[in-house]
């Protein structure tokens, strides 16, 4: 009997881990995305983008911590735009902050698919906006994962994303 139970446990674990790796996690289309697009890919512009991102982090954290629904997120984003513009304006006088429908290219990251399309989003474009961008998802609150992201493997990241999506949808 003991051997049968061990065998069933092993088969169960094998099924769980083999199917979870094949499952494609897709961020819902009703998510609110966030990105900062650098002026160009030169070192100074990319550095400025990252500096602005870190300076805006407390405002984003406040939005995330005070948002229990997508409606809360929308209100908190709109309310925070003047703060964001003030921060960006300290480092760059040629920028645009846009909250609305914006195009995002397809992105696959650690087993999670972010489909291409026009999405509700907060986009900060620096200068010409021709450089690489920094991005995350404001709702569901996946931006909170950014600080821990480098230490997470693909499976842990995927499970975390799936858990957050299930909690909010």
H helix intervals, the chain: 2-22, 43-65, 70-91, 154-168
Rounded CA gap, 47 and 53, in Å? 10
167: pLDDT strictly greater than 80: no
Question: Are the C-beta atoms of 95 and 89 separated by less than 8 Å?
Answer: yes
CA angle 78, 81, 87 (to 5 degrees): 160
Task: Output the six-digit token pair for 24.
Answer: 């494609």
Rounded CA gap, 98 and 136, in Å? 15
pLDDT digits (tens, 9 = 90+) for 135-155: 888 888 777 544 444 545 555
- pTM higher than 0.85: no
- In the chain, the domains with their CATH numbers are 26-168 (3.10.20)
Residue closest to 78 by CA, chosen among 92, 95, 97: 97
Overall average pLDDT of the 63-84 stretch: 93
């Amino acid at each position: 009997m003991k051997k049968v139970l061990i065998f069933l446990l092993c088969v169960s674990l094998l099924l769980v881990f083999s199917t979870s790796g094949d499952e494609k996690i897709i961020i819902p289309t009703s998510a609110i995305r966030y990105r900062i697009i650098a002026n160009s890919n030169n070192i100074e512009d990319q550095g400025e983008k990252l500096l602005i991102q870190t300076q805006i982090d407390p405002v984003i954290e406040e939005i995330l911590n005070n948002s229990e629904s997508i409606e809360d997120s929308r209100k908190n984003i709109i309310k925070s735009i003047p703060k964001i513009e003030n921060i960006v304006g300290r480092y760059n006088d040629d920028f645009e902050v846009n909250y609305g429908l914006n195009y995002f290219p397809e992105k696959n990251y650690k087993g999670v698919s972010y489909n291409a399309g026009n999405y509700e989003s907060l986009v900060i474009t620096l200068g010409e906006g021709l450089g690489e961008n920094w991005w995350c998802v404001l709702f569901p609150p996946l931006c909170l994962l950014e600080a821990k992201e480098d230490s997470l493997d693909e499976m842990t990241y995927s499970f975390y994303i799936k858990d957050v999506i299930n909690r909010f949808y």
